[in-house]
Amino acid sequence: MENRALEPNTVDIGGTPSSGALVEFFKWDPRFMTGIASVDEQHHWLVDQMNAFTGMISGADGIPRPELERMYSRLMDYAARHFSDEEAVMQEASIDRRHFDKHTQEHQAYIQTLIHEQKSILDTPTSARHLLTFLGNWLVYHISGRDQGMARQIAAIRAGAPPGEAYSLEIHSREGAADPLLHALNAMVGQLMEKNTQLMQWNRNLEKRVDGRTRELQDAMTRLEAEMAESRRLGQELAEANEQLRQAAMTDVLTGLPNRRQGRERLRQFWSESRRHGTPFSCIMVDADGFKQVNDTYGHEAGDEVIRELGRILRKSTRSEDVVCRLGGDEFLVLCPQTDLEGALALAESLRAKVAATRLPAGDGAWLGSLSLGVAERKEAFKRPDDLVIAADKGLYVAKRSGRNRVGVGEE
């Protein structure tokens, strides 16, 4: 995970960004440190950002909505980016899947709350301050609980303990951080009390109306049932839309193949499995020779059709366990788990030969199939998954420089 320098985020008592002292609605404590420098740095920044935004909305009457939106967007983007980086740290360390799943579920719940409550927070920020306070306290509790457990497990794994053993030791020895938990529970109780007061008032008003307005109540119940049915329908549509969005975010629209984002996730997964089990792992970089001429000569629609067909050929010509990804343009990446360099070279040559024997229609003409491919196998000297892709890219450069329509191997 890359290190990012902290950015100053302070607010004065009036709630506007300034260089003054930060209003700490959720107090940072050295006990929250995990010992993982990049994670700790991002944690502190994120807590500061929560403080800054909560302080800002406490005086929101004088703050333009665009400024609130900018600050909220900054908070949400950074939270999502931090959680993604933290998950990459856990994947790199091969942390036990049971911890990883619980950890990521908490991340997703936090982001979903920020997304779902965005409109109410920005429309009536002063009344939504309690929500931001609760989320901030939750974040501190998460840091002192789940993240501390993550750090201890990573330290144990790096010391030689198997991931499952590190997880079991953490479960048996973990002690909660009392103060942050108490703050979080207090915030939650405050919210529940406020909601309960509102509910009691609503019930009293309803009882007064029931005495002389039975028919009106029956009508209201009918409307309520209809609204509940509509709510269920909309909830189902929302769930389906969210799933479609998730799939769309991981899939290349043109070819239907995994896109760059999903490719990076599968790369990390195969990399971790290869290191953990000592199995080979190779990848192939693929570039379509002369593709730019198709776009220039016959137009982008013709070029898109060539890319679609090329993606279909690559997927059909690889094993079921291989993952073919479109990185963009005419670049593809093939991930080959449990495959050594010799096996990957054989597959790359097979792909090259199959495409070379293919003539793909392109507008009024055709693209005479030609691929340049670069192959690399994971080496112990490689420190991160990107090193494997870089090595394959060097092989691709060798193939291009040697005249194209070739398979190259990058230098170690």
Residues with catalytic function = 330
- The tokens of 286 are what? 């693929």
DSSP states of 373-405 as a string? EEEEE--TT--SHHHHHHHHHHHHHHHHHTTSS
Residue with tokens 């005086």: 59
Single out the residue of 88, 79, 96, 69 nearest to residue 45, CA to CA: 79
> How far is CA 273 from its chain centroid?
20
CA torsion, points 56, 57, 59, 65, in degrees to nearest 10?
A: 90
Q: How far is CA 114 from CA 49, 60, 119, 128, 130, in A?
A: 14, 18, 10, 12, 13
> How far is CA 217 from its chain centroid?
47
Q: How far is CA 118 from CA 58, 73, 243, 299, in A?
A: 16, 9, 20, 42
Burial class of residue 248 in the structure, from the number of CB atoms within 10 Å of its CB (0-12 exposed, 13-18 middle, 19+ buried)? exposed
- The tokens of 295 are what? 């776009």
Q: Which residues of 327-342 are buried (b: 16+ CB within 10 A; e: fewer)?
A: beebbbbbbbbebebe
Return the DSSP state at 145: I
Specify the DSSP element, H or E, that contains 329. Answer: none
Other CB atoms within a 10 A radius of the CB of residue 187 amount to 22
Residue with tokens 């457990």: 149
Q: CA 60, CA 136: separation in Å to the nearest integer? A: 18
**Do 392 and 287 form a contact (C-beta atoms < 8 A)?**
no
Single out the residue of 35, 27, 29, 38 nearest to residue 3, CA to CA: 38
Indicate the residue type of 76: M
Single out the residue of 375, 255, 362 nearest to residue 314, CA to CA: 255
**Do 162 and 94 form a contact (C-beta atoms < 8 A)?**
no
